[in-house]
Amino acid sequence: MIDGGRPLEGQVAVSGSKNAALPILIATLLAPGEHRLANVPDLADTSSTLSLLGRIGCPSLTGTHVRVDTTRVAYWEAPYDVVRKMRASVLVLGPLLARCGKAVVSLPGGCAIGTRPIDQHLKGLEALGCRFRIEGGNVHGVADDLRGADVHLDMPTVTGTENILMAAVLARGTTRIHNAAREPEIVDLANFLKGLGAQIEGAGSSTLVIEGVPRLTPASRPHRIIPDRIEAGTWLCAAAVTGGDVTVTDVEPGHLEAIGAKLAEAGCEIEAAGTTVRVRRTGPLRPFQLRTLPYPGFPTDMQAQLMTVATLANGTSTLEETIFENRLLHAAELRRMGARIEERGGMAIVHGGTLSAAAVMASDLRASAALVLAGLAAPGLTEVLRIYHLDRGYEDLVGKARKLGARIGRVSDGERDHDRMLAATAAAA
Ligand code: EPZ
């Protein structure tokens, strides 16, 4: 529940990156022993990943550092009930095949934003000598003898690159992954793997070259997960939509360049210094054109949040989603708040104006963030339903928003009536 219409101001510390933490937690399977990781965000998805590791025999402890013990792998299956909830579980394929020579992983099926196939993952792993059969909705994989190979990806898939990379580090010989994803989360995974003794060149470029090694061992020092550039970008959008002044801290400004450039185009003032980025909105928002692309292009995970910015601009903006086939679901909910948005295929045409408070329904992680931003901008009480989507990717969003002056609270199902909603938001004051 949000009582919106007031500027957000102040500093907010950004947590570790969800999309770096998930592959790195799973990569611990490649090196038997105890691993320690710093700056792992406390999210539903990281908890799901730790419980998946627990189910296959690798216990963990959370705290300042997350400790994972992968001495023993007793089981090599990622069942449907886990993969259905968190698609990134398919990342166990590469490590389990490299460690145990076999893996059974449920096909992820689709999700709200698209069909999410894993054909590129399987094609790349097959090039390394893995053999797969699909049975009962599961992928059954075996790998008797992993050998390096040249892999040409049809698109720079992020988790596809990660799955193949994690198998290649223990394959015999040289692997080259062409058209690899270049996201900072790939670079962080590669740095973690190098800390275990892997030999990887070209992380962050579109060609990864991996010299396989016979074994990997846990790093002597904890690996620190990079900051979450999407969380950071979301807070910067909060400054834009509320006419505020927000500084995100503990970030890598270099990861935020495409996002910052778009907010500058929309009329915000951007200031990067050290590990902070500040966004101030000093005048009316201007319309902009946006097209999502693989890194270093504009990230698809920020498209929904920028759509909320566009609904408040003086003029017509266009947002083209080129990565996922169904990632404009937030448009319908923003219309409930008075936004004027036309959809043509993967393109949204947004005629900017004002937003008015309403009850809206979250459909996926980043759409929920866009609706929270809209609630922060619109005067009055906005209720965002199915808020569990947010818990997958944003650590303590309510607490952090309150620190910036937002009047926001969680309203449990039992507290539906108006007065209690007011109480929940007033408590935030
Ligand atoms: C990763 O998903 C991220 N998730 C996503 O973040 C992010 O939106 C996406 O990359 C794009 O940046 C994690 O890292 C855990 P892709 P991923 O494979 O790897 C198609 C969030 O909100 N494709 O790069 O699943 C696919 O359908 C999440 O944090 C194939 O066709 O995305 C999509 O259209 C959402 N075959 C496109 O490629 C394949 O084998 C890009 O997908 C693989 C992908």
The residue among 53, 109, 118 whose CA lies nearest residue 85 is: 109
Pocket lining: 59 vs ligand 1, CB cutoff 6 Å: no
CB 148 less than 6 A from any atom of ligand 1: no
- 352 CA distance to ligand 1 middle (Å): 29
Q: How many angstroms is it from 325 CA to the middle of ligand 1?
A: 11
Mutate to test the pocket of ligand 1, among 22, 107, 116 (most ligand atoms within 8 A of CB): 116
Using 50, 70 and 90 to split pLDDT, how confident is the model at 114?
A: confident
Atom of ligand 1 nearest to the CA of 295: 12
Which of 302, 315, 208 is closest to 262 using CA atoms? 302
Question: According to the model, what pLDDT value does residue 115 have?
Answer: 77
Residue ID of nearest Cα to ligand 1 atom 31? 117
- The pLDDT, as a whole number, for residue 85 is 85
- Over residues 417-424, the mean pLDDT reads 59
> Is the minimum distance from the CB of 76 to ligand 1 under 6 angstroms?
no
> What pLDDT, on a 0 to 100 scale, did the predictor assign at position 347?
97
Segment 295-335, tens digit of pLDDT: 999 999 999 999 999 999 999 999 999 999 999 999 999 99
* Residue 151 in contact with ligand 1 by CB distance below 6 A: no
DSSP secondary structure string for all residues of 279-318: EEE-SPPPP-EEEB-STTSB-GGGHHHHHHHHTTSSSEEE
Largest CA distance in the chain: 66
Confidence label for 19 from pLDDT (cuts 50, 70 and 90): very high
Taking all residues of the chain, what is their mean pLDDT, rounded to a whole number?
94
pTM of the model: 0.96
Give the pair of three-digit tokens for residue 341.
């948005």
Q: Taking 90 as the threshold, does the pLDDT of residue 417 lie above it?
A: no
Alpha-carbon gap, residue 369 to 373, rounded angstroms? 6
> What is the residue with the minimal CA distance to atom 5 of ligand 1?
301
Q: Which positions ≥6 away from 414 have C-beta within 8 Å?
A: none
Determine if ligand 1 sits within 6 Å of the CB of residue 301: yes
pLDDT tens digits, one per residue of 229-261: 999 999 999 999 999 999 999 999 999 999 999
Q: Are strands 131-135 and 102-106 parallel, antiparallel or unpaired?
A: unpaired
